[in-house]
Amino acid sequence: MNDLILWNELTRREQRIMNKLFGGGSAYGDGPIETVNLMRLGLITESGLTSAGLELFIAAFKAQRDVCRAN
């Protein structure tokens, strides 16, 4: 549950960066403010998602999937 609280506190741009990194992309061209904030939170590094970032993304993905299944 704490992961979902943190995910909801991220801006849409930060969530987008996390989504891109999960898919194997890069944060190149994204706003430096969002990237630095995600690094400070320990969710990403220069090379991609950290284990904490991966856990956060998966928790948010599963929560969204559950909401879709309920509808």
pLDDT-based confidence at 71, cuts 50/70/90? confident
Q: Is the pLDDT of residue 2 over 70?
A: yes
User: Structure pTM?
Assistant: 0.88
pLDDT digits (tens, 9 = 90+) for 7-57: 999 999 999 999 999 999 998 889 899 999 999 999 999 889 999 999 999
- Contacts for 63 with CB less than 8 Å, ≥ 6 apart: 4
Question: What angle, rounded to 10 degrees, do the helices at 32-40 and 12-22 form?
Answer: 70
The DSSP letter of residue 49 is E
